[in-house]
Structure 1
Amino acid sequence: MLFDDTFQTIAQPSEGFFKDKGSKFLSYAFPISAEADAKEHLGMLKELHPKAVHHCYAYRLGTDKMSYRISDDGEPSGTAGRPILNTLYSRDVTNVLIVVVRYFGGTLLGVPGLISAYKTATESALDSAVVVTRHFINRYKMEFQYPQMNEAMRIVKEMELPVLDQQFEMECSMIVEVRVSATEVFVSRSQKVDGLKLTLS
Protein backbone atom coordinates (compact mmCIF):
# COMPACT_ATOMS: atom_id res chain seq x y z
CA MET A 1 0.00 0.00 0.00
CA LEU A 2 1.15 3.50 -0.78
CA PHE A 3 1.73 5.72 2.19
CA ASP A 4 -1.49 7.60 2.88
CA ASP A 5 -0.55 11.18 3.65
CA THR A 6 -4.06 12.39 4.47
CA PHE A 7 -5.44 12.74 7.95
CA GLN A 8 -8.50 14.19 9.61
CA THR A 9 -8.25 16.94 12.17
CA ILE A 10 -10.35 19.84 13.39
CA ALA A 11 -10.41 23.20 11.62
CA GLN A 12 -10.43 25.39 14.71
CA PRO A 13 -10.80 25.19 18.48
CA SER A 14 -14.18 24.11 19.83
CA GLU A 15 -15.77 23.61 23.22
CA GLY A 16 -18.16 21.21 24.90
CA PHE A 17 -19.85 20.75 28.25
CA PHE A 18 -21.14 17.91 30.41
CA LYS A 19 -22.61 17.91 33.90
CA ASP A 20 -23.11 14.98 36.26
CA LYS A 21 -24.18 15.11 39.94
CA GLY A 22 -23.04 18.69 40.27
CA SER A 23 -19.61 18.13 38.72
CA LYS A 24 -19.01 20.26 35.64
CA PHE A 25 -16.82 19.02 32.80
CA LEU A 26 -15.74 21.77 30.41
CA SER A 27 -14.09 20.32 27.33
CA TYR A 28 -11.82 22.11 24.90
CA ALA A 29 -10.58 20.78 21.57
CA PHE A 30 -7.61 22.36 19.78
CA PRO A 31 -5.91 21.57 16.46
CA ILE A 32 -2.17 21.15 17.16
CA SER A 33 0.87 20.24 15.09
CA ALA A 34 3.44 19.65 17.82
CA GLU A 35 3.84 18.94 21.52
CA ALA A 36 4.72 22.59 22.15
CA ASP A 37 1.24 23.65 20.94
CA ALA A 38 -0.35 21.32 23.49
CA LYS A 39 1.72 22.78 26.34
CA GLU A 40 0.72 26.30 25.34
CA HIS A 41 -3.03 25.53 25.33
CA LEU A 42 -2.76 23.69 28.66
CA GLY A 43 -0.98 26.62 30.26
CA MET A 44 -3.65 28.98 28.99
CA LEU A 45 -6.51 26.85 30.35
CA LYS A 46 -4.83 26.58 33.75
CA GLU A 47 -4.77 30.38 33.90
CA LEU A 48 -8.39 30.52 32.74
CA HIS A 49 -9.59 27.94 35.30
CA PRO A 50 -7.31 28.24 38.35
CA LYS A 51 -10.01 26.89 40.70
CA ALA A 52 -10.76 23.71 38.73
CA VAL A 53 -9.69 20.52 40.51
CA HIS A 54 -8.53 18.62 37.40
CA HIS A 55 -7.22 19.51 33.95
CA CYS A 56 -7.24 16.09 32.27
CA TYR A 57 -6.16 15.78 28.67
CA ALA A 58 -5.09 13.64 25.77
CA TYR A 59 -3.57 14.52 22.46
CA ARG A 60 -2.61 12.59 19.41
CA LEU A 61 -0.13 13.50 16.66
CA GLY A 62 0.33 11.82 13.28
CA THR A 63 -1.44 8.69 12.07
CA ASP A 64 0.33 5.95 13.96
CA LYS A 65 -1.14 5.00 17.31
CA MET A 66 2.12 5.58 19.18
CA SER A 67 2.32 9.38 19.15
CA TYR A 68 0.07 10.46 21.96
CA ARG A 69 0.12 11.68 25.52
CA ILE A 70 -2.52 11.34 28.22
CA SER A 71 -2.94 12.75 31.72
CA ASP A 72 -5.47 11.85 34.42
CA ASP A 73 -4.27 14.87 36.44
CA GLY A 74 -5.13 13.31 39.81
CA GLU A 75 -8.25 11.41 38.75
CA PRO A 76 -8.14 7.61 39.36
CA SER A 77 -5.81 6.00 36.82
CA GLY A 78 -7.42 5.27 33.46
CA THR A 79 -10.62 7.25 34.12
CA ALA A 80 -9.83 10.46 32.22
CA GLY A 81 -6.91 10.62 29.78
CA ARG A 82 -7.56 7.17 28.29
CA PRO A 83 -11.29 7.71 27.56
CA ILE A 84 -10.41 11.08 25.97
CA LEU A 85 -7.75 9.42 23.77
CA ASN A 86 -10.05 6.53 22.84
CA THR A 87 -12.63 9.05 21.64
CA LEU A 88 -9.99 10.65 19.38
CA TYR A 89 -9.30 7.17 17.95
CA SER A 90 -12.94 6.30 17.46
CA ARG A 91 -13.61 9.63 15.73
CA ASP A 92 -10.48 9.04 13.64
CA VAL A 93 -9.03 12.52 14.21
CA THR A 94 -5.41 13.36 14.93
CA ASN A 95 -3.22 16.42 15.57
CA VAL A 96 -5.84 17.26 18.17
CA LEU A 97 -5.59 18.12 21.87
CA ILE A 98 -8.60 17.67 24.14
CA VAL A 99 -8.55 19.15 27.63
CA VAL A 100 -11.39 18.46 30.04
CA VAL A 101 -11.51 20.86 32.97
CA ARG A 102 -13.45 19.50 35.95
CA TYR A 103 -15.12 21.44 38.69
CA PHE A 104 -15.99 18.99 41.47
CA GLY A 105 -19.63 18.98 42.52
CA GLY A 106 -19.24 17.25 45.88
CA THR A 107 -20.44 13.79 44.86
CA LEU A 108 -18.03 11.07 43.80
CA LEU A 109 -18.92 9.61 40.42
CA GLY A 110 -17.02 6.33 40.73
CA VAL A 111 -14.83 4.83 38.03
CA PRO A 112 -17.56 4.02 35.44
CA GLY A 113 -19.13 7.45 36.02
CA LEU A 114 -15.81 9.23 35.47
CA ILE A 115 -14.98 7.27 32.31
CA SER A 116 -18.41 8.08 30.93
CA ALA A 117 -18.17 11.77 31.92
CA TYR A 118 -14.77 12.33 30.29
CA LYS A 119 -15.85 10.46 27.16
CA THR A 120 -19.12 12.41 26.89
CA ALA A 121 -17.40 15.76 27.48
CA THR A 122 -14.85 14.92 24.76
CA GLU A 123 -17.62 13.94 22.33
CA SER A 124 -19.38 17.21 23.11
CA ALA A 125 -16.31 19.27 22.10
CA LEU A 126 -15.76 17.19 18.95
CA ASP A 127 -19.45 17.38 18.00
CA SER A 128 -19.15 21.16 17.76
CA ALA A 129 -15.87 20.99 15.81
CA VAL A 130 -15.53 21.12 12.04
CA VAL A 131 -13.55 18.07 10.89
CA VAL A 132 -11.28 18.66 7.87
CA THR A 133 -8.95 16.51 5.82
CA ARG A 134 -5.34 17.66 5.71
CA HIS A 135 -2.11 16.33 4.22
CA PHE A 136 1.24 15.62 5.81
CA ILE A 137 3.79 17.82 4.12
CA ASN A 138 7.51 18.41 3.95
CA ARG A 139 8.93 21.88 3.44
CA TYR A 140 11.83 22.18 1.04
CA LYS A 141 14.08 25.06 0.22
CA MET A 142 15.05 25.06 -3.46
CA GLU A 143 18.21 27.03 -4.25
CA PHE A 144 19.33 27.66 -7.81
CA GLN A 145 20.99 30.17 -10.10
CA TYR A 146 18.94 32.57 -12.18
CA PRO A 147 19.38 30.56 -15.44
CA GLN A 148 17.69 27.52 -13.78
CA MET A 149 14.63 29.56 -12.84
CA ASN A 150 12.39 28.25 -15.65
CA GLU A 151 13.12 24.63 -14.87
CA ALA A 152 12.57 25.14 -11.14
CA MET A 153 9.33 27.03 -11.78
CA ARG A 154 8.09 24.30 -14.10
CA ILE A 155 8.39 21.69 -11.32
CA VAL A 156 6.55 23.94 -8.87
CA LYS A 157 3.77 24.75 -11.37
CA GLU A 158 3.26 21.23 -12.71
CA MET A 159 3.22 19.74 -9.22
CA GLU A 160 1.02 22.60 -7.96
CA LEU A 161 3.24 23.22 -4.93
CA PRO A 162 2.35 26.04 -2.53
CA VAL A 163 5.23 28.55 -2.41
CA LEU A 164 5.77 29.96 1.09
CA ASP A 165 8.67 32.23 0.31
CA GLN A 166 10.69 33.21 -2.74
CA GLN A 167 13.66 35.34 -3.66
CA PHE A 168 14.75 35.88 -7.24
CA GLU A 169 18.09 37.58 -7.61
CA MET A 170 21.31 36.12 -9.03
CA GLU A 171 21.00 33.50 -6.30
CA CYS A 172 17.39 32.35 -6.25
CA SER A 173 15.49 30.42 -3.63
CA MET A 174 11.96 29.22 -2.96
CA ILE A 175 10.44 27.47 0.01
CA VAL A 176 7.72 25.06 -1.09
CA GLU A 177 5.37 22.60 0.57
CA VAL A 178 5.35 19.08 -0.83
CA ARG A 179 2.86 16.42 0.15
CA VAL A 180 4.66 13.43 1.64
CA SER A 181 3.23 11.14 -1.05
CA ALA A 182 4.71 13.39 -3.78
CA THR A 183 8.12 13.87 -2.17
CA GLU A 184 9.89 11.15 -4.13
CA VAL A 185 8.75 12.54 -7.50
CA PHE A 186 9.63 16.09 -6.43
CA VAL A 187 13.13 15.13 -5.28
CA SER A 188 13.93 13.09 -8.38
CA ARG A 189 12.70 15.87 -10.71
CA SER A 190 14.71 18.47 -8.79
CA GLN A 191 17.86 16.34 -9.00
CA LYS A 192 17.65 16.46 -12.78
CA VAL A 193 18.05 20.25 -12.75
CA ASP A 194 21.75 21.15 -12.86
CA GLY A 195 22.92 23.05 -9.82
CA LEU A 196 19.58 22.99 -8.01
CA LYS A 197 20.09 22.38 -4.31
CA LEU A 198 17.37 21.02 -2.02
CA THR A 199 17.24 21.23 1.76
CA LEU A 200 14.44 20.33 4.15
CA SER A 201 13.40 23.57 5.79
Structure 2
Amino acid sequence: MTRTYPDTIAAPLTRELVVKKSRFIAHLVPVRSVAEADEVIASVRRQYWDARHNCTAMVTGVTGDQARSSDDGEPSGTAGIPMLEVLRRRGLTDVVAVITRYFGGVKLGAGGLIRAYSTAVSDALDEAALLHRRELLEARIDVPHGDAGRIDNGLRDWADAHGSSFGDVVYGSVASFTLWVPPTDQALLVDDLAALSAGSLAPVFGETRVVDVVA
Protein backbone atom coordinates (compact mmCIF):
# COMPACT_ATOMS: atom_id res chain seq x y z
CA MET A 1 0.00 0.00 0.00
CA THR A 2 1.36 3.42 -1.01
CA ARG A 3 1.96 5.76 1.91
CA THR A 4 0.37 9.21 1.84
CA TYR A 5 2.12 12.42 2.83
CA PRO A 6 1.02 15.99 3.64
CA ASP A 7 1.10 18.56 0.82
CA THR A 8 3.08 21.77 0.82
CA ILE A 9 2.78 25.12 -0.99
CA ALA A 10 4.63 25.79 -4.23
CA ALA A 11 5.71 29.39 -3.62
CA PRO A 12 5.63 32.20 -1.05
CA LEU A 13 2.62 34.48 -0.98
CA THR A 14 1.38 37.47 1.01
CA ARG A 15 -2.25 38.48 1.49
CA GLU A 16 -3.89 41.12 3.70
CA LEU A 17 -7.10 41.01 5.72
CA VAL A 18 -8.63 44.06 7.44
CA VAL A 19 -10.89 43.50 10.46
CA LYS A 20 -12.28 46.55 12.30
CA LYS A 21 -9.36 48.67 11.06
CA SER A 22 -6.72 46.17 12.21
CA ARG A 23 -4.51 44.95 9.35
CA PHE A 24 -3.58 41.26 9.33
CA ILE A 25 -0.86 40.62 6.74
CA ALA A 26 -0.40 36.88 6.16
CA HIS A 27 2.94 35.66 4.87
CA LEU A 28 3.09 31.98 3.83
CA VAL A 29 6.43 30.52 2.81
CA PRO A 30 7.49 26.96 1.91
CA VAL A 31 10.45 25.76 4.01
CA ARG A 32 12.51 22.59 4.41
CA SER A 33 13.46 22.80 8.08
CA VAL A 34 12.78 24.54 11.39
CA ALA A 35 15.97 26.56 10.90
CA GLU A 36 14.74 27.81 7.52
CA ALA A 37 11.36 28.68 9.06
CA ASP A 38 13.12 30.64 11.80
CA GLU A 39 15.00 32.60 9.14
CA VAL A 40 11.71 33.50 7.43
CA ILE A 41 10.21 34.64 10.75
CA ALA A 42 13.26 36.76 11.54
CA SER A 43 13.14 38.34 8.07
CA VAL A 44 9.44 39.25 8.39
CA ARG A 45 10.02 40.73 11.85
CA ARG A 46 12.85 42.87 10.50
CA GLN A 47 10.71 44.06 7.60
CA TYR A 48 7.66 44.79 9.77
CA TRP A 49 9.54 45.98 12.84
CA ASP A 50 6.93 48.65 13.60
CA ALA A 51 4.01 46.18 13.84
CA ARG A 52 2.56 45.37 17.25
CA HIS A 53 2.56 41.60 16.59
CA ASN A 54 4.19 39.11 14.22
CA CYS A 55 2.49 35.83 15.16
CA THR A 56 3.74 32.54 13.78
CA ALA A 57 2.89 28.92 13.07
CA MET A 58 4.91 26.27 11.30
CA VAL A 59 4.65 22.61 10.37
CA THR A 60 7.76 20.81 9.13
CA GLY A 61 9.00 17.33 8.31
CA VAL A 62 8.02 15.00 5.47
CA THR A 63 5.21 13.56 7.61
CA GLY A 64 4.37 16.88 9.29
CA ASP A 65 5.58 15.61 12.66
CA GLN A 66 7.10 18.90 13.85
CA ALA A 67 4.96 21.91 14.73
CA ARG A 68 5.41 25.18 16.59
CA SER A 69 3.52 28.42 17.10
CA SER A 70 3.76 31.77 18.87
CA ASP A 71 1.16 34.36 19.88
CA ASP A 72 3.87 37.08 19.98
CA GLY A 73 2.11 39.12 22.63
CA GLU A 74 -1.50 38.44 21.68
CA PRO A 75 -3.63 36.82 24.41
CA SER A 76 -2.62 33.20 24.87
CA GLY A 77 -4.22 30.83 22.36
CA THR A 78 -5.74 33.53 20.13
CA ALA A 79 -3.18 33.62 17.29
CA GLY A 80 -0.49 30.95 16.93
CA ILE A 81 -2.62 27.91 17.74
CA PRO A 82 -5.55 28.96 15.48
CA MET A 83 -3.05 29.56 12.67
CA LEU A 84 -1.47 26.17 13.28
CA GLU A 85 -4.86 24.46 13.27
CA VAL A 86 -5.56 25.84 9.78
CA LEU A 87 -2.26 24.43 8.47
CA ARG A 88 -3.09 21.07 10.07
CA ARG A 89 -6.66 21.06 8.78
CA ARG A 90 -5.43 21.75 5.25
CA GLY A 91 -3.03 18.79 5.51
CA LEU A 92 0.14 20.82 4.95
CA THR A 93 3.76 20.54 5.99
CA ASP A 94 7.06 22.32 5.32
CA VAL A 95 5.33 25.68 5.52
CA VAL A 96 5.61 28.65 7.88
CA ALA A 97 2.88 31.25 8.39
CA VAL A 98 3.66 34.68 9.84
CA ILE A 99 0.84 37.15 10.40
CA THR A 100 1.80 40.74 10.92
CA ARG A 101 -0.85 42.72 12.79
CA TYR A 102 -1.16 46.49 12.83
CA PHE A 103 -3.65 47.39 15.56
CA GLY A 104 -6.52 49.54 14.30
CA GLY A 105 -7.66 50.92 17.64
CA VAL A 106 -10.64 48.60 18.10
CA LYS A 107 -10.26 45.58 20.39
CA LEU A 108 -11.51 42.37 18.80
CA GLY A 109 -11.79 40.17 21.88
CA ALA A 110 -10.50 36.60 22.09
CA GLY A 111 -13.10 35.19 19.69
CA GLY A 112 -12.51 37.97 17.19
CA LEU A 113 -8.76 37.44 17.26
CA ILE A 114 -9.10 33.68 16.76
CA ARG A 115 -11.38 34.24 13.77
CA ALA A 116 -9.14 36.92 12.28
CA TYR A 117 -5.91 34.93 12.53
CA SER A 118 -7.57 31.76 11.27
CA THR A 119 -9.25 33.55 8.38
CA ALA A 120 -6.06 35.36 7.38
CA VAL A 121 -4.22 32.05 6.95
CA SER A 122 -7.18 30.29 5.35
CA ASP A 123 -7.81 33.06 2.80
CA ALA A 124 -4.14 33.09 1.81
CA LEU A 125 -4.10 29.31 1.41
CA ASP A 126 -7.16 29.52 -0.84
CA GLU A 127 -4.90 31.29 -3.35
CA ALA A 128 -1.83 29.08 -2.87
CA ALA A 129 -0.61 26.64 -5.50
CA LEU A 130 -0.05 23.26 -3.86
CA LEU A 131 2.56 20.58 -4.32
CA HIS A 132 1.50 17.02 -3.60
CA ARG A 133 4.05 14.81 -1.87
CA ARG A 134 4.23 11.36 -3.44
CA GLU A 135 6.43 8.34 -2.90
CA LEU A 136 7.76 7.77 -6.42
CA LEU A 137 10.16 5.40 -8.12
CA GLU A 138 13.09 6.63 -10.19
CA ALA A 139 13.08 5.53 -13.83
CA ARG A 140 16.00 6.38 -16.14
CA ILE A 141 15.68 6.10 -19.91
CA ASP A 142 18.70 6.47 -22.20
CA VAL A 143 17.71 7.56 -25.71
CA PRO A 144 19.78 8.02 -28.89
CA HIS A 145 19.98 11.68 -29.84
CA GLY A 146 18.09 11.15 -33.08
CA ASP A 147 15.00 9.98 -31.16
CA ALA A 148 15.34 12.33 -28.16
CA GLY A 149 12.82 14.96 -29.28
CA ARG A 150 10.04 12.50 -29.99
CA ILE A 151 10.65 10.46 -26.84
CA ASP A 152 10.89 13.65 -24.77
CA ASN A 153 7.40 14.71 -25.87
CA GLY A 154 5.98 11.24 -25.30
CA LEU A 155 7.47 10.90 -21.82
CA ARG A 156 6.24 14.34 -20.76
CA ASP A 157 2.72 13.49 -21.88
CA TRP A 158 2.96 10.17 -20.04
CA ALA A 159 4.18 11.85 -16.86
CA ASP A 160 1.33 14.39 -16.94
CA ALA A 161 -1.22 11.61 -17.38
CA HIS A 162 0.13 9.35 -14.62
CA GLY A 163 0.91 11.61 -11.66
CA SER A 164 4.63 11.48 -12.35
CA SER A 165 7.42 14.04 -12.15
CA PHE A 166 9.70 14.70 -15.12
CA GLY A 167 13.30 15.28 -14.05
CA ASP A 168 16.25 16.96 -15.75
CA VAL A 169 17.53 15.69 -19.09
CA VAL A 170 21.27 15.01 -19.27
CA TYR A 171 22.90 15.04 -22.70
CA GLY A 172 26.05 12.98 -23.20
CA SER A 173 26.68 10.14 -25.60
CA VAL A 174 22.91 9.66 -25.30
CA ALA A 175 20.03 11.73 -23.91
CA SER A 176 19.28 10.50 -20.39
CA PHE A 177 15.74 11.13 -19.16
CA THR A 178 14.66 10.70 -15.54
CA LEU A 179 11.06 10.20 -14.48
CA TRP A 180 9.71 9.72 -10.98
CA VAL A 181 6.71 7.41 -11.28
CA PRO A 182 4.21 5.77 -8.93
CA PRO A 183 5.55 2.31 -8.07
CA THR A 184 2.20 0.83 -9.11
CA ASP A 185 2.77 2.19 -12.66
CA GLN A 186 6.17 0.52 -13.10
CA ALA A 187 4.92 -2.19 -15.46
CA LEU A 188 2.73 0.32 -17.33
CA LEU A 189 5.74 2.53 -18.06
CA VAL A 190 7.67 -0.47 -19.39
CA ASP A 191 4.80 -1.35 -21.75
CA ASP A 192 4.06 2.22 -22.87
CA LEU A 193 7.72 3.02 -23.49
CA ALA A 194 8.08 -0.14 -25.54
CA ALA A 195 5.08 0.91 -27.62
CA LEU A 196 6.44 4.47 -28.00
CA SER A 197 9.87 3.25 -29.15
CA ALA A 198 8.86 0.16 -31.16
CA GLY A 199 10.42 -2.01 -28.50
CA SER A 200 13.85 -0.38 -28.61
CA LEU A 201 13.79 1.32 -25.20
CA ALA A 202 13.29 0.12 -21.63
CA PRO A 203 13.52 2.07 -18.33
CA VAL A 204 16.08 1.27 -15.66
CA PHE A 205 14.50 1.63 -12.24
CA GLY A 206 16.36 2.99 -9.22
CA GLU A 207 15.49 4.30 -5.77
CA THR A 208 12.15 5.30 -4.29
CA ARG A 209 11.92 8.85 -2.98
CA VAL A 210 9.31 11.33 -1.73
CA VAL A 211 8.90 13.84 -4.58
CA ASP A 212 6.92 17.08 -4.95
CA VAL A 213 4.36 16.91 -7.77
CA VAL A 214 2.44 19.98 -8.96
CA ALA A 215 -1.23 19.69 -8.02
Q: TM-score, normalization: structure 2?
A: 0.62
CA distance in 2, matches of 1:134, 1:65: 11
What one-letter code is carried by the residue in structure 1 that aligns with 2:99? V
In structure 2, the partner of 1:88 is 87
What one-letter code is carried by the residue in structure 1 that aligns with 2:39? E
The alignment-based identity, stated in percent, is 35
Sort the Cα spacing of 1:89 and 1:45 in 2 relative to 1 into closer, same or farther, 3 A. same
1:67-97 residue CA offsets vs partner (Å, 9 max, x unmatched): 1111111111111111111111221221111
In structure 2, the partner of 1:31 is 30
CA distance in 2, matches of 1:12, 1:161: 19
Q: Is the 8 A contact 1:27 1:122 kept in 2?
A: yes
User: 1:1-201 residue pairs with structure 2 within 5 A?
Assistant: 1-4=1-4, 6-62=5-61, 64=63, 66-135=65-134, 156-157=140-141, 186=206
What one-letter code is carried by the residue in structure 2 that aligns with 1:124? D
CA distance in 1, matches of 2:96, 2:169: 26
Sort the Cα spacing of 1:43 and 1:125 in 2 relative to 1 into closer, same or farther, 3 A. same
What one-letter code is carried by the residue in structure 2 that aligns with 1:3? R
SS in 2 for 1:7: coil
Sort the Cα spacing of 1:161 and 1:122 in 2 relative to 1 into closer, same or farther, 3 A. closer
Q: Could you list the runs of 5+ residues in structure 2 that have no partner in the other structure?
A: 143-164, 171-177, 185-204, 208-215
Q: Is the 8 A contact 2:31 2:96 kept in 1?
A: yes
Sort the Cα spacing of 1:177 and 1:108 in 2 relative to 1 into closer, same or farther, 3 A. farther
In structure 1, the partner of 2:174 is none
In structure 2, the partner of 1:191 is none
Q: Is the 8 A contact 1:25 1:121 kept in 2?
A: yes
Q: Is the 8 A contact 1:18 1:121 kept in 2?
A: yes
After superposing on structure 2, the runs of 4+ consecutive aligned residues of structure 1 that deviate more than 2 Å are: 1-4, 62-66, 134-137, 155-158, 160-165, 176-179
SS in 1 for 2:18: strand
CA distance in 2, matches of 1:127, 1:16: 10
Displacement after TM superposition at 1:7 (Å): 3.4
CA distance in 2, matches of 1:186, 1:54: 48
In structure 1, the partner of 2:199 is none
Q: TM-score, normalization: structure 1?
A: 0.66
What one-letter code is carried by the residue in structure 2 that aligns with 1:102? R
CA distance in 2, matches of 1:42, 1:131: 21
How big is the alpha-carbon RMSD for the aligned residues of Structure 1 and Structure 2? 3.5
Q: Is the 8 A contact 2:58 2:94 kept in 1?
A: yes
In structure 1, the partner of 2:161 is none
